[in-house]
Homo-oligomer: A and B are copies of this chain.
């Protein structure tokens, strides 16, 4: 035996770069040449880490979820009250959208849903994300003991929709950012709280 493989470490190092390229260019327009260039390696090195371009994309989809989940957990590391937690997440999502290319990768993936692997990766991602949101809303509601009209699962889908359209609004500059944030906050409050305050 000689020289242990550092493939895992290197792929972890390269993944953020790969995510960024995919989020900038989408799936089809991203060339393996461009990926290699941005990663500052040669193409065949990428092909030693992943069997093909699709695998690189799947890894990117997985990574963006883990990334986002970790951000949330870091944001809630100081154990705020559940209601504070929801408010903090809403604020975070409304303000720092787009920085991490989350939705751009999702959009890219959504145009490839006739590929079973990509579809599965997306389904998994959405289910986990929806669950995460549900948990937060649930926690927030239980404490206040307020029976809201909208079931938690539905509110969570509504929030995901809100985050999506808000990203589109940002992407296309359909509203100035302060208005977009206000919109996000107002709709989110309606969805989560049941009543506006």
Indicate if the CB atoms of A174 and B110 lie closer than 8 Å.
no
Indicate if the CB atoms of A172 and B28 lie closer than 8 Å.
no
Q: A26-B28, A151-B186 are in contact. List 15 more A-B contacts (CB 8 A).
A: A107-B107, A110-B168, A113-B172, A119-B172, A130-B174, A150-B190, A154-B183, A157-B166, A158-B162, A158-B165, A158-B190, A160-B165, A161-B164, A161-B165, A164-B164
Of the listed stretches A4-12, A49-57, A72-80, A121-129, chain B binds A121-129
> Does A196 touch B at the CB level, under 8 Å?
yes
List A119-168 residues whose CB lies under 8 Å from chain B.
Answer: 119, 122-123, 126-127, 130, 149-151, 153-155, 157-158, 160-166, 168
Which residues of A are interface residues toward B (Cβ below 8 A)? 24, 26-29, 104, 107-108, 110-114, 119, 122-123, 126-127, 130, 149-151, 153-155, 157-158, 160-166, 168-169, 171-174, 182-183, 186-187, 190-191, 196
Q: How many copies does the complex hold?
A: 2
Indicate if the CB atoms of A126 and B168 lie closer than 8 Å.
yes
Q: Taking A26-B111, A108-B111 as contacts, is the C-beta distance between A158 and B187 under 8 angstroms?
A: yes
> A92 to chain B: closest CB distance in Å?
18
Q: Taking A108-B111, A111-B104 as contacts, is the C-beta distance between A174 and B26 under 8 angstroms?
A: no
**Closest B residue, CB atoms, query A173:** B123
A151 to B107, CA, bound (A): 28
Indicate if the CB atoms of B110 and A187 lie closer than 8 Å.
no
Subset of 15 A-B contacts with CB under 8 Å: A26-B111, A27-B28, A29-B111, A104-B111, A123-B173, A127-B174, A130-B174, A150-B187, A150-B190, A154-B187, A157-B166, A158-B158, A158-B187, A161-B166, A161-B187
